[in-house]
């Protein structure tokens, strides 16, 4: 069985913002339709097929109901993400991250609650700025009908990679707090 597009499975338009109510409704509908208990008297092949469809339904719901996973999925549908892809982050972002990483390294030797709080506030601001930028671009993509969508997707891809980087920084900050 070929992997079915999750948006098609749920009969939803390919957008970054999905109708949560329609998504849940379709998930429950498919969960009932493909529940393995209803097929216990069927052949092994039919049971295997139903189990595969049930698994697909669960996986699709996990991806489409999570905004970050949905972004990654939409980007992958447009061939914007490849396994082992070595994405090059913008130079100015990398310079900012170099400063943040230096501050984190300094905290390993000299734990300072005030510096930790300042660094956390700085990361909060960066995350908020990225979130706003992401929202603008995903809204723009969802409102356009294919025109210039590739350039918008490239911007979203860049934001997605920067967010992933900041999540790793956030994890390091949380370790210092613990």
Question: What is the Cβ-side half-sphere exposure of residue 84, based on CA atoms within 13 angstroms?
Answer: 0
CB 120 within 8 A of CB 173: yes
**Does residue 82 lie within any of the structural domains?**
no
Mean pLDDT of the chain: 91
Identify whether residues 35 and 101 lie together within a single domain.
no
10 Å CB burial of residue 157 (0-12, 13-18, 19+) is buried
Q: Average pLDDT of 150-167?
A: 94
> Which of these three, 49, 65, 81, is where a domain ends?
65
Higher-confidence residue of 98 and 146: namely 98
Of how many residues is the chain composed?
Answer: 178
* H/E run at residue 52: helix 44-65
Q: Is the pLDDT of residue 178 over 90?
A: no
Q: pLDDT per residue over 26-49, tens digit each?
A: 999 999 999 988 898 999 999 999
CATH of the domain at 10: 1.10.287.110
The per-residue DSSP string of 79-115 comes to T---TT------HHHHHHHHHHHHHHHHHHHS--HHH
User: How many domains does the chain divide into?
Assistant: 2
Identify whether residues 100 and 50 lie together within a single domain.
no
With bands split at pLDDT 50, 70 and 90, how would you rate the model's confidence at 109?
confident
**Does residue 84 lie within any of the structural domains?**
no
pLDDT (0 to 100) of residue 146: 60
Identify whether residues 110 and 173 lie together within a single domain.
yes
**Does residue 81 lie within any of the structural domains?**
no
Residue range of the domain that includes 113: 91-177
Q: pLDDT per residue over 95-106, tens digit each?
A: 999 999 998 888
pLDDT (0 to 100) of residue 1: 47
């Amino acid at each position: 069985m070929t992997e079915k597009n999750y948006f098609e499975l749920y009969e939803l338009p390919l957008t970054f913002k999905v109708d949560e109510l329609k998504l849940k409704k379709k998930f429950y509908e498919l969960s009932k339709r493909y529940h393995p208990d209803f097929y216990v008297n069927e052949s092994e092949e039919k049971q295997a097929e139903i189990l595969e469809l049930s698994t697909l339904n669960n996986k699709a719901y996990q991806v489409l109901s999570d905004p970050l996973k949905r972004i990654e999925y939409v980007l992958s549908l447009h061939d914007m993400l490849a396994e082992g892809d070595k994405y090059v982050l913008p130079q100015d972002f990398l310079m900012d991250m170099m400063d943040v990483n230096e501050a984190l390294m300094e905290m390993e030797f000299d734990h300072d609650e005030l510096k930790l709080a300042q660094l956390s506030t700085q990361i909060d601001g960066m995350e908020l700025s990225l979130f706003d930028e992401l929202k603008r671009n995903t809204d723009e993509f969802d409102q356009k009908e294919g025109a210039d969508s590739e350039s918008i997707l490239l911007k979203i891809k860049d934001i997605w990679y920067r967010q992933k980087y900041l999540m790793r920084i956030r994890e390091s900050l949380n370790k210092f707090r613990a």
